[in-house]
Amino acid sequence: MFTLPPLPYADNALEPVISANTISFHHGKHHKTYVDNLNNLVKGTPFEGATLEKIVTDTAGKADQAALFNNAAQIWNHTFYWHSLKPHGGGKPTGKLAQMIDASFGGYDEFRKQLSATTVSQFGSGWGWLVADHGALKVVKTANAEVPFTKGQKPLLTIDVWEHAYYLDHQNKRAAYVDAVIDRLLNWDFAAANLG
């Protein structure tokens, strides 16, 4: 059985960028529904007892397994998202990440511009990501439940741009939400741990 992972902080810890009200729906309803759906979907299938990563990897791109993929990937994406954020986060990374950002983007300012523009421009529901890909860092976006690791890219950070992530707090102003997340909430310690 899959379970809803607890938040790594209090539900009001990301205010005012992300309110406790948004978190209560996003974690307590949306994320939990993906968990409940997947538990129902795997019953009696070879995926019963499999890890989330195995279900995501094995069902990616298979039209007849889209429900399994979507729910498993959305559990994975949301858990990764909660850890991509922290109270009093944001700002510039240090150490190896800072060096790789300079090498891959020509500096933090250009990286920040690309992360914001790429994430804001995702058409419809999806995700903006910082990933490691063959020794370089890249900014990518994915639609709906898609995840970079099925394409060989290692996720370091993500920003959810499904409307449920920001509409209660920012309404249609997706860019205001994305920029505030980048500047005030990104968890660079998590990114550094993912980079390894």
Would you tell me which residues interact with Mn ion (CB under 5 A)? 160, 162, 165
Between CA 162 and CA 153 the distance in angstroms is 21
Strand partners, 138: 131
DSSP letter string, 87-122 = TT--S---HHHHHHHHHHHSSHHHHHHHHHHHHHT-
Between CA 22 and CA 98 the distance in angstroms is 31
Q: Shortest distance, CB of residue 104 to Mn ion, whole angstroms?
A: 27
Nearer CB in complex with Mn ion: 160/169: 160
Task: Kindly state the helix (H) or strand (E) to which residue 128 belongs, with its residue range.
Answer: strand 126-133
Nearer CB in complex with Mn ion: 157/165: 165
Q: Shortest distance, CB of residue 127 to Mn ion, whole angstroms?
A: 9
Q: Shortest distance, CB of residue 43 to Mn ion, whole angstroms?
A: 24
Q: Shortest distance, CB of residue 126 to Mn ion, whole angstroms?
A: 10
Nearer CB in complex with Mn ion: 7/100: 7
Nearer CB in complex with Mn ion: 96/173: 173
